[in-house]
Structure 1
Amino acid sequence: MAWHDGPLAALDFETTGVDPRHDRVVSFALIDGDATREGLVDPGVPIPAAASAVHGLDAEAVRGAPRSERVIDDAARWVDGLVERSVPLVVFNAAYDLTMLAAECRRHGLREPEWSRLVVVDPFVVDWGLNPRLRGQRRLGDVAQRLGVVLENAHDALSDARAAADVARAQASDPRLAGLSVKELMERQRRWHAAKAEDWNRWARQNNRALDDLAAWPLTR
């Protein structure tokens, strides 16, 4: 059975910044078939102006929203439900969003999902694996546009999650992916992430920049 023959779920977070181990979730979307859950989150910390400029959410927007602990607990339980049902989870740039979820769970003393059994489909990593020499940006909007997928409202969690799932389905038509099993896809993505990280690291060593972790997919613990 190929990885895309059954249902696909999708997840997206909007956050207070770019460091998944220290920043916080401010909005979320969880898609599982026809069931969709989305909402705002009170992160319990100020939302920097730079983050608000990206997703449009500020302190006023999240005033009265559920506290982070409640939303993160629900999201972690939802992910574990996918694990039990063997439903692949689509996350664009999974190393960011899933590391964020793991860090938020630890921050609140919550049980983390069973990461070792989770099947992840990461269109960001897949795009690199299929097109390693492609120049330019690989943001969700860039990859979606290349594949003819509509992204209606970038940096809205629900719009991004839907577009990521549509991108994954579009990528599934590539003959290099179409026949892969879940296990084969996971192994392929780990190799692609490592190759992408090493490609960056060659440049980073020459330019005194931080190195990427070759094993930091689908998340960093």
Structure 2
Amino acid sequence: MHETPAASWADTLAVFDLETTGIDIDTCRIVTAHVGVIGPRGEVLEQRQWLVDPGVEIPTAATLIHGVSTERARAEGLAAAQAVAEIGETLADATRRGLPIVAYNASYDLSVLRREAERYGHDPLAGPEHVVDPLVIDKAVDRYRRGKRTLTAACAHYGVELLDAHDAGADAIAAGRVAQAIARAYPELAAIAVADLHRQQVEWCRDQAVRYQEWRRMNGEPEFTTSGAWPVR
């Protein structure tokens, strides 16, 4: 893989990930969260993590993925209303500092956070306007690569270590390092200003959703629909 210095947008990144009770952005609740900052070599400069009592039962299927049971969340977790406020403010602080927010499949995590903010009467995270989503970018720059596009698969492809998948901290940091690896691998992408990259991802995600919807409809699901809204649905 061709290595070039990362662009300025990739030098210092805020990284963000949630683990939740499910996959429906309108109903699922936050169980764990991580907001951190990584430097040019992927080194961890700052990190903050939350274990949250979501106020509802955590389905067994979700516990099997991220390892947090209802009993543990109730015993050790922060009240959801307080946690959601803290997560939002920590991300808002990162944006005020001019840091891009990296999240893998950002439209899921940022949408869940917005729904949770609305649920508890908090102001939602403004914008955000400088988001970097390695999933959207990877599918755009390497459209025809075969195989899965999970974070684990992206880490393997770009040579990023991921030791504890589905841990919010491990996933957030790995996503940031994948973003930096993509910036090194594609110099033309690395040269784009982060605001322009954000706007480009809006278009890429919309186009990717259109193609995916067409594929699903051609393969036995004629009523299938999906949203291409990004970074918040």
TM-score normalised according to structure 2 size: 0.89
SS of equivalent to 2:53: coil
Shift of 1:35: 1.6
Counting only pairs closer than 5 Å after superposition, residues 12-161 of structure 1 correspond to structure 2 as: 12-33=17-38, 34-64=45-75, 65-115=77-127, 117-161=128-172
State the alpha-carbon separation in 2 of the partners of residues 204 and 3 from structure 1: 38
- State the shift of 1:82 in Å: 2.0
Look up the SS of the partner of 2:152 in the other structure. Answer: helix
Q: Please say if residues 3 and 180 of structure 1, whose CA atoms lie closer than 8 Å, have aligned partners that are also in contact.
A: no
Q: Distance in 1 between matches of 2:190 and 2:148?
A: 25
Q: In the alignment, what sits opposite 1:182?
A: 194
**By how many angstroms is 1:209 displaced?**
4.7
Provide, for residues 42-78 of structure 1, a one-character-per-residue CA deviation record: whole Å limited to 9, x for no partner: 0000001111111111112213310111111011111
CA 1:61–1:106: 2 relative to 1, 3 Å: same
* Greater Cα offset, 198-207 or 167-176: 198-207
Aligned to 1:219: 232
What is the CA distance between 1:3 and its match in structure 2? 4.8
Distance 1:125 1:165 in 2: 13
Q: Does the aligned pair in 2 maintain the 1:3–1:185 contact within 8 Å?
A: no
Runs of 4+, deviation exceeding 6 Å: none
Query: Separation in 2 of the partners of 1:37 and 1:49?
Result: 26
* Distance across 1 between alignment mates of 2:32 and 2:182: 27
Between stretches 182-191 and 43-52, larger displacement belongs to 182-191
Q: Determine if contact 2:10/2:179 at 8 Å carries over to the other structure.
A: no
Identify the residue that residue 208 of structure 1 maps to in structure 2.
222
- SS of the equivalent of 2:123 reads coil
Q: Which ranges of structure 2 fall in alignment gaps of 5 or more residues?
A: 1-5, 39-44
Paired positions, count: 218
Q: Measure the CA separation in 2 of the matches of 1:209 and 1:86.
A: 42
Mark the runs of 5 or more structure 1 residues left unpaired by the alignment. none
What amino acid does structure 2 have at the position aligned with 1:190? V
CA RMSD of aligned residues (A): 1.6
Closer, same or farther: CA 18–217 of 1 in aligned 2, 3 Å: same
Q: Shift of the alpha carbon at 1:182?
A: 1.1
- In structure 2, what is the Cα distance between the partners aligned to 1:36 and 1:5? 17
Cα 1:153–1:5 change in 2 (3 A) is closer
How far apart are residue 28 of structure 1 and its match? 0.7
